[in-house]
Amino acid sequence: MHNHAPPRPPRAGRWINLVVACSAAIFCPGAGCLWMPASPAADSPSSKPEKEPSQGSAPARNGADLEANYLSAPIKITDGLTKAGEGYFSPDSSRICYQGVPQGYPFYQIYIQPFDSQAPRIATPLCISSGRGRTTCSWFSPDGKRLLFASSHLDPKLDTTEALARAQAEEDARTGRRRRYQWDFDPQMEIFTAALDGSNLRRLTDSPGYDAECSYSPDGKRIVFVSDRDGDADIYIADADGTNVRQITNQPGYDGGPFFSPDGRWICYRTDRVEKDLLQVHVLRDDGSADVALTAGQGVRWAPYWHPTKPWLIWTGADHSDPTQRPNYDLWVARYETDGDTFRAGPPLRLTDHSGADVLPVFSPDGELLMWTASRDGERSTSQLWLSRPNLEAIENDLPAVPAPGSAEANR
């Protein structure tokens, strides 16, 4: 248990209504997983693009044309599901995996979809999960043969869980209510792997409470995941078969959405340990040491992800300092430096300025493509996956340098 930890929360009905969650959008707080930023309710104050007020962000260029400086025109690559998001590339980029809500069912399921990097387009997905229960945070094994994900399909009270969700959806449809996004830390969630056609399902965790937000190490020998088995959500590492579990964070508050760095030595993640619900980006060594906060302030920064070849971290961020304005979630990238023992990052550069939520960014294995979850089809649109080819040279030129240790910039 954590020292001075808050009382153990009840296992049933635990949920988080973070300032991060996207009502028209999607997901969980995983990092492998997602937390979709929350889309405000219909009566919220009108939105306007704002600058994330943290750590000397690089100035935006050309105002509303900012995206065109760094990204090709985004194209939508999923459709047909009620909503979809938190997508990841297979090692050879021939497929993507993601979670989506099927028509007529209340919970996300896991899908694999063919992908052509030369001609990206919407394609027909294959459902890999069981078709029942909540699911989240899918991830291809490094050899490309299996899919890792979390699911609650073994919930002994699943009929009741589904019935309650359907009743709420029907009531909302009848009254026209549009709820803020809410992620349930379902205590029946466990981690599984399956073949890419959904067969040969193997269970990796079997612990009371929530086990999810999972991904593989680059060599495929380990997984990193989130569990609240000790009373609140912390990060754990295990061997790829689910054995040899060890806890690497142990502070009060939510820690989630972990990913190994390309060399397997560091893990990026998000945490609200400083102020509840205000997520910030952290990194730490794979043994749990050298934890460092890369962001701070009155905002939500989450869903960090590594560039595969450049010393860059990308994440989703929004300013929450003005209660009269709706936070606008956009994509930010920062340069980092590490000597293997210490880790430092420079001020972030903003990449998107669309009025809808832009969240959960991931780079392709070669670093040439950027995929993220967004609601870009109008005010009432739901989240889908979008793709762009980033202008790596322009980003490289405009990314602020990492301040020298001990400098005024580094101490801000």
∠ CA 381-383-386 to the nearest 5 degrees?
A: 110
pLDDT at 223 over 80: yes
Q: Are 316 and 305 in contact (CB under 8 A)?
A: no
Query: Which CATH number fits the domain that encloses residue 364?
Result: 2.120.10.30
Which residue type, as a one-letter code, is found at position 402?
V
Task: Report the alpha-carbon distance of residue 395 to residue 399 in Å, rounded.
Answer: 6
Question: Is residue 328 within a helix (H) or strand (E), and if so which, with residue range?
Answer: none
The residue among 308 and 45 whose pLDDT is bigger is 308
pLDDT at 169 over 50: yes
Region of poorest pLDDT, from 4-8, 16-20, 293-297 = 4-8
Q: How far, in whole angstroms, is CA 205 from its chain's centroid?
A: 21
404 occurs within a structural domain: no
Predicted local distance difference test score (pLDDT) of residue 7: 32
Tell me the three state secondary structure of residue 371: strand
Q: Are 352 and 71 in contact (CB under 8 A)?
A: yes
Q: What is the mean pLDDT of residues 324-352?
A: 95
24 occurs within a structural domain: yes
- Number of domains the chain is built from: 1
Q: Which domain holds residue 126?
A: 15-398
Q: Are 391 and 69 in contact (CB under 8 A)?
A: yes
Question: Is residue 379 within a helix (H) or strand (E), and if so which, with residue range?
Answer: none
80 occurs within a structural domain: yes
The DSSP letter of residue 82 is S
Tokens of 97: 């995996």
409 occurs within a structural domain: no
C-alpha to C-alpha distances, 91 to 196, 219, 266, 348, nearest whole angstrom: 13, 12, 20, 27
The residue among 170 and 304 whose pLDDT is bigger is 304
By C-alpha distance, which of 243, 282, 233, 234 is closest to 261? Answer: 282
Mean pLDDT in the chain?
Answer: 86
Tell me the three state secondary structure of residue 386: strand
278 occurs within a structural domain: yes
Tokens of 353: 């300025």
Which residue type, as a one-letter code, is found at position 255?
D
403 occurs within a structural domain: no
Predicted local distance difference test score (pLDDT) of residue 281: 98
Residue at token pair 């061997």 = 239
Task: Report the alpha-carbon distance of residue 83 to residue 213 in Å, rounded.
Answer: 19
412 occurs within a structural domain: no
44 occurs within a structural domain: yes
Predicted local distance difference test score (pLDDT) of residue 192: 98
